Structures are given as C-alpha cells and as structure tokens.
Structure 1
Amino acid sequence: MGRSRSRSRSRRRNRSVTGGAALSLSLLLTGCGAVSGLTGDNEVTLRVVAADYGDNPQNSSLRHWKNLADGFRKDHPGVKVEVSVYSWSEVDNKVAAMVKAGKAPDIAQIGAYADYAAAGKLYTTDELLAVQTEADFLAPLADAGKVKRVQYGMPFVASTRLLFYNEKLFADAGLTSGGRPWQPRTWADLEAAAKKLKAANVPTPFALPLGREEAQAETMMWMLAGGGGYTDGEEAYAIDSPENTKTFEFLRDKLVGQGLTGPVAPDRLDRQTAFDAFTRGEVGMLNGHPTLMKQAAAKGVKFGMVPLPTVDGTDKPNMGVADWMMAFKNGHRKETGQFLDHVYAAQNQTAFTSAYDLLPVTTSGYRAMNAGTGGNSAQLKTFLQALPGSRLYPAGKKSWPGVSEDIKENIGKAVAPGGQPAKVLEQIATSARANDLH
C-alpha cells in the first residue's frame, strides 16, 4: 500500500496499518509534563513504548500520548506515565532489546505480540481491562489478538484495503455507466476493464505489487476475494487450498499472462512504486489503503474506491490490518489496566484516528466515525464500512513473521510466465505448517 523519501516511508509503513513515521528520534514524556525523575514512595510509574505515526516532529504521536498521560494523571495522581515514542523503523527492536535485558516496558504499542504471549510475558486482556472496555473491541480485531483462544493483543488502530480506480482513465476507456465510472464486481469484470484500459494505451491497467514491500498483503487480499485465505476455519494454515491455487492461476493467466499488469513484473513491483504510478495517472486500478487517498488527491487524481471484486461477485471478507498494544507482567497490573481503559475511551480513540486517517478498533469509535463525529474525510468511511467483517493476518501464530517473509520471497513466482501456483503455494504451506509446530 533508487529509494526516495516517500518509498522509504512506505517500507516502514508496512509494519503499521498505514503510516509509521520515518523519524529517527525517540521522545520521552511523563504524565506531569516533565522528564522522568524521582517519584514519591507510594507513586507508581508506568513505562510505555509507542510507535510514531507522524512523518515530522510537528505531527508526531508524541502530542497524543502527552495528552493521554496528562489526562490520566489528573484522575490518578498516584500514577505517573512515562512514554517513549520511536519511529516504526526501530520501535519493535527497541522493545525486543528491553525485554531481552529484563527491562520490559509496562505497555508496548508495536507491530506484533504473539512471541511475547507465547513466552508467558504478557497479561491477558481480561486481567487488565474493565468489562466495558474489553467488550468494546470490534470482534474480528479482538479475535486476531488471541493465542489459543486467549486474548493478549489489544488492537490499537486499524485499516482496511479497497480497490482504487482512476476515474479519468475509466472514462477515456469507455468504462462508464449512466455517466459514472463503471465499477467491477467480479474477476471477469476486472479482466474486461483491464483489457479496455490496455486498448486505451494505459501503461498499467492493473498494478499487481507482489514485490517484497507488501506481498503478504496483496496475496491475502486476492486469497480472500477468491474464497480462500491463509488459514481455514480452525485457524490452521491453508495456504495451498484449491481456492488459493485457482486465485493465483487467474492472476497468472488472465492478468499477467495477457499483459494487463504493466511493464514491471509483479514480483519486482513494490506497493509504493505502484502508488506513485497511480498518482501520476499511469495506473487504471490497484488495491490500496487510506494513505493513497491523500497521495492521489495531492496530485489531482480523481479516483473511486470499491471493495476488491470477488471471483463470482458475491461478498467475501475484506482484509483488515491492526497494530497492537500489549502489557508486560511487571507487577503494575491494576495501574496498567486503568491507563489502558483511558487509552481506549471513545474520545481518545477518535482523537487519534482522526489525526492520522486511521480506523478505530472499538464499536464506540466505529459508531462515532460512522456518524460523522470523527475522521477528516467522508471517503474514510468507505474503509470503515469494510472493517467489521474483515479478516486479519494470523498474528496470533508465532510462526507468522517467518511465513510472511517466505511469501514476500516466493509468491511472485506463482504468477510469472510458466509459473506453477500449486507448487509454489504447497512449498510455502509445507514450511508454514512445520514452523507452526515449534
């Protein structure tokens, strides 16, 4: 969703739902507005490590966390909150180093939680949160935070993916209905639209970024649209399912094989490169996340957004992505839970998601944004409506990071000329199942 500054940013963004900042800095704040120092005998200090969603010091997430800490301090004078904010390029490693050194923070807001949960280092959500807070999480996001049916990961913010299309290119290619751009619903529609765009000399009728940057996301979107996914109903890996094989045969034969995916081979096309081409008016269609809205609008590109067409036009789950909060067992369970209840209050969720064009992870936040009381763009509601029924990465599996890496490395081979989707998917699946046992 050479290295330019924007492309560097996007690579870091892959670890977050839409936009981890490229700031090479760490910032420290406390609930009383001063640098961390000595506390009273009865005072508890909570240490929080969080990721930065801004892209410069002026819009750093530091401001949000300072407001949270200050507000919490007023109602809990015996608790001080110290928050270190790091860029997405370093925050996961910072937390890992702290844990390894025996100095885990009380709370971490990072990209993955399963390793720490499996090692017995995290509180469960029901040990921390008030009942109303825990019940407020949107169901698919809460489920994605579970390891063996027990929730350890708390979703912090979320995003979904939609099909973007260039309205001018559609109109120029005759892809209109009733004076409006024609919206594909099936894969046959998608193929037909791509052919018309190609006939109208659009350089890339459909951008298919299966390069390393975010191949695991593009792969999951297509698997879901084809009736498959990374896992089955029992959450076992099903990467080599018949549905997934047929999906990649379609991509190989109908899109790549007919020259509809542009001049760059999918396995060499990264998402930000595809986004950049879309903002230059060179791409007819591609899958994207909310960040693309701003990028395209800034370049004057008029676009529409619809759910990714499915194999037969029937509704299928959309792909959702979440970033995670977790609480380490540091002996501050009560105070940690109180602060997390504060973090997830509806007004605090809305303040953060509105600032960064993200999606809320709670039912109350969802309702507020859908009612128009939160969010900066009506277009963001299109992403919001896809969130409740979305499917997320199998983040509760310790093996998932390795499987994701395997997909980035190999999935592009499945759609190359002469590629063998069944063989590629089987190899990835076999390795995934083996790693899932350890």
Structure 2
Amino acid sequence: MQRRILGLTATIAALGLTGVISGCGLTGADSGDVTLKLVAADYDLTGGNTTQKYWDDLTAAYEAEHPGVNVEVQIESWNDVDRKVAEMVKAGQAPDIAQIGAYADYAAAGQLYSADELLSIPVQANFLAPLASAGEMKRTQYGLPFAASTRLLFFNQKLFDRAGITEAPTTWAELTAAAEKLKDDDVPYPFALPLGPEEAQAETMMWLLSGGDGYTDATDRYRIDSDQNVATFDWLKKNLVEKELTGPVAPGRLNRKDAFAAFTRGEVGMLNGHPSLMQEAEKKGVTVGKVALPGPNGKAKASMGVADWIMGFKQNGHRQEIGDFLNFVFSDKNVLAFAGGNDLLPVTVSAYSRMESEEEHKNLRAFLKELPSSQLPPVGKTSWAQVSENIKQNIGKAVAPGTRPVDVLGKIGREATEAESAE
C-alpha cells in the first residue's frame, strides 16, 4: 500500500485549519425541502445510546443552520449494518449516506460520489494521509474516513512486576524472553496470539508489518507469501508457539474476542490491542502497559491502522446536500466529539493536533503517535473481502504442528493473486 508523508504542522499552517472547518465548503441547500437518509453503525460497547445521541445532536445542530434539509438517522449494530446497507442498495433504496465498514464494492459499481464531488478542498485536504490513501480506488477517493485506531503491544503491568520483568519488550527477542518469564510464573497466556477466524487478518497484518513487510507491495499488488512474511511466521511458530508461550488454546482456534476477554480477566501477559480494549481492561482493574509493536531489531516499521468509512450514494441525486452535510460532519467539534467519546482516534489533521495537545486525551497519545505513519489493510481492493476471509480461515494453520508457514502463506498468496486478477 502506498503511503504518503504527513507533515502535521505544515499542513495545518498551509490550510489554516486551526479551528472549526465547517461552513467552508458547499453552500446550504436552497432548492426546497430535502430529506437525507443516513445509516450508521452503533459504536456503544455497553448497549447504551451514545451513538444515537451523537447523531441526534449533530443533525439537530445541522438542521438549525440549514432550514429545508432534514436528516433521518438509522442506527444499526455492527453485526447488521453492512448487510442492511447492501440489501437497501440491491433493492434500489440506497441511503444518501452510509457510515459502515467498507466502500470498495459500491465504488467499483459506480454508486458513490467521489470525495472531490462532495467536500470542500480544505476539508478533503485535512484527512490524515494514510486514511485518505486507504479511501482511494484507482487513485480516486470514495471512502471518507470516519473513525480510526491503531494497535500497540499491551502488557499486564501487575503480571510483569510479579514475573520480574522491568522493561517493556522492544524487540522480538525481548518479547520471547518476557513471555518465557511469564510462563515460568504460571501466567495462562504469556502471549495471546489470536489467529482464529474472527479477526485473524488483523493480527496477521500486525505481525507482517512488525517483520518489515505487509500484504501488498509498492504498486499495491498482493505479496502475502513474500520472503519476509514467511520469515515472520517461521519466527512466530518457532519462538512463541512451539515454546508453548501462546497459552492453552491453539492460535488457530483462539479468536480475538476470547483473547481480549482473557486479558481483562488478568490471564494474559501480552497481546496486540486497541484503545477500546485498554478502556475495558482498566475498568476491570487491569493496569495496562503499552508500547509500539516490536520488530526483529527494534520498533516495527509501522503500526496497523484501522478506519471505518462514511460515503455518499448517487442514487437519490442529493450531491450538494450530502456534501454540505459531510463538510459539517468533519468539523473539529464533531470529529473530536465522536472520537473522544468512543476512545477512537480522529481522522483529520486539525482534530489530531488538538487531541494530541489536550490533557483529557493523554491516554490515547501512544496510539496517536502511531497513526500518521500507520498502514491500513488494502480496503480499496474489491478482492480484499475474499482475501481477508481466506486469511481468517487458514492463517492459523501456518503455526500449527506438522505444517510449514511457506506452504500456507504460498497457498493464500496464490489465491489472493487469482482474486486480484478477477477485479
């Protein structure tokens, strides 16, 4: 995946984006009453209504400034939202705006407005570079990043202290040494390695980046079975799995949800985690240490970034109204309200700068530090859904007894290339 260099201070200065950025794009709708239909995902982990309240407050403020435009919001769980939007589109009833997990299929089908058809130049230029890049298909941006996060190495400080580990690991060798001490101290999962089918494509990408490579090359072609990637899984199998440092459940059967739950119970010494897990673990009394993911000889070349997307559908022809509303959504006030309220990271340069400097967000600074140089999965490829599912189902075999990583990654890599050729 191609990455662009981000100069935060320079970008902010050049764009003059030191405050709220709404109101600098398209003019408000003035062609009669328009109702925009917005379908959005529910981010409330506790079953509350914080997501609904966010959108209610935002749309009320927008409608007060834009008489004649109404925004109807439909909140759906993450289990259902992508499917329901797909069903609406298939039935010829696409929403005007969808805030969901993927955009590529809709973009490839010509169903979305591009970013430059919707957003003012300052708003579009204000996206953090890795997120903007990941929102592109064939060099045109269709996916607008709505929320982001990165991954860090988490460790249980109490278990580290008890095992006599005084420094967080910064290399793979140090990680193995720490895991061995945790095992000697009877920690159930010295290092939890969730390569089960729930979210294995994410755990895999973190390790590939740690090993110096990733899913794609500089031309955005799959290279899953590269020499570096095979070496990474050889190391995992030899130094963590075969030394029985990954706990009682085989990595290929350990799902992320179960690994995270074990971490909040105090049963895991180390794992790769995200901001929401930090919040949940600390609620359960776990003191969470966190550092950048280690690589073979030091810090990994990049952290994995993750983004959820918002997009505008062409079907109802409300380009101007959709664009004006989205310019409002991406104001600093609204970006920070959503990110801060959900322990997520902001998607714009100006909001990033503010969050980085504000004391109330200090617990997110380690994640923020990794975001500008992060790499995201190849979500702009229509083949990614198929390739991702293949990784989920099969990557655990790479560290299973009696298998060779080169064979497993080779098969996944060949099938990824076939899927890419069919795009």
Match for residue 88 of structure 2 among 80, 98, 113 = 98
Residue 353 in 1 paired to residue 343 in 2?
A: no
Distance 1:139 1:41, change over 3 A: closer
CA distance in 1, matches of 2:301, 2:187: 29
Distance 1:269 1:78, change over 3 A: same
Q: For residues 11-31 of structure 1, what are the alpha-carbon distances to aligned partners after superposition, in whole Å with 9 as ceiling and x for unaligned?
A: xxxxxxxxxxxxxxxxxxxxx
Q: In 2, are the aligned partners of 1:252 and 1:419 still within 8 Å (CA)?
A: no
RCO greater where, 1 or 2, for CA within 8 Å and sep 6 or more? Answer: 2
Output the CA distance in 2 between the equivalents of 1:327 and 1:351: 22
Matched, 1:363 2:353: no
The aligned residue for residue 159 of structure 1 is 149
The secondary structure found in structure 2 opposite 1:48 is strand
**405, 409, 417: which one pairs with 1:421?**
405
Q: Tell me how far 1:417 sits from its aligned partner.
A: 1.9
Letter in 1 for 2:97: I
Matched, 1:134 2:119: no
- Distance in 2, Cα, partners of 1:157 & 1:104: 22
Q: How far off is 1:315 after superposition?
A: 4.4
What is the match of residue 207 of structure 2?
222
In structure 2, the partner of 1:245 is 230
Shift of 1:419: 1.9
1:54 counterpart (28, 44, 49):
44
Structure 1 runs, 4 residues or longer, greater than 4 Å off:
none
Going from structure 1 to structure 2, the CA distance change for 1:431 and 1:284 (only over 3 Å counts) comes to same
- Aligned partner of 2:175 in structure 1 is 190
Describe the shift of the 1:94–1:331 C-alpha distance in structure 2 as closer, same or farther (beyond 3 A).
Answer: same
TM-score (normalised: structure 1)? 0.87
Q: In structure 2, the residue corresponding to 1:232 is in which secondary structure?
A: coil
Question: What SS is found at the alignment partner of 1:378?
Answer: helix
TM, length-normalised to structure 2: 0.90
1:377 deviation in Å?
A: 4.5
Q: Contact 2:151–2:274 at 8 Å: present in 1 too?
A: yes
1-structure distance, mates of 2:46, 2:290: 28
One-letter amino acid of the structure 2 residue matched with residue 77 of structure 1: P
Which residue type is aligned with residue 221 of structure 2? A
Q: How many angstroms apart in 2 are the aligned matches of 1:44 and 1:388? A: 37
CA distance in 2, matches of 1:107, 1:60: 20
**Residue 41 (structure 1) shift:** 8.4
CA distance in structure 2 between the partners assigned to 1:433 and 1:71 by the alignment: 47
CA distance in 1 between partners of 2:111 and 2:117 (Å): 13
User: Any conservation in 1 of the 2:293–2:299 contact (CA below 8 Å)?
Assistant: no
| Aligned partners of 1:185 and 1:308 also within 8 Å | yes
Q: SS where residue 202 of structure 1 aligns?
A: coil
More helix, by proportion: 2
Q: Is 138-147 or 280-289 further displaced after alignment?
A: 280-289
How far off its partner does 1:280 sit? 2.1
Distance 1:253 1:55 in 2: 36
Number of matched residues? 392
1:433 to 407, 412, 417: 417
CA distance in structure 2 between the partners assigned to 1:135 and 1:52 by the alignment: 27
Structure 1: distance between partners of 2:97 and 2:221:
30
Between the aligned partners of 2:183 and 2:46, the Cα distance in structure 1 is: 39
Gaps of 5+ in 1: 1-39, 177-181
AA aligned opposite 2:90:
K
Cα distance in 2 for partners of 1:146, 1:41 equals: 31
Distance 1:84 1:280 in 2: 35
Q: Match for residue 160 of structure 2?
A: 170
Look up the SS of the partner of 1:109 in the other structure: strand
SS of 1:192's partner is helix
**In 1, Cα distance between equivalents of 2:102 and 2:148:** 13
* Post-superposition offset of 1:279: 2.0
Give CA deviations for 1:154-179 in whole Å, capped at 9, x if unaligned.
00000111111111211222211xxx
Q: Percent identity?
A: 58
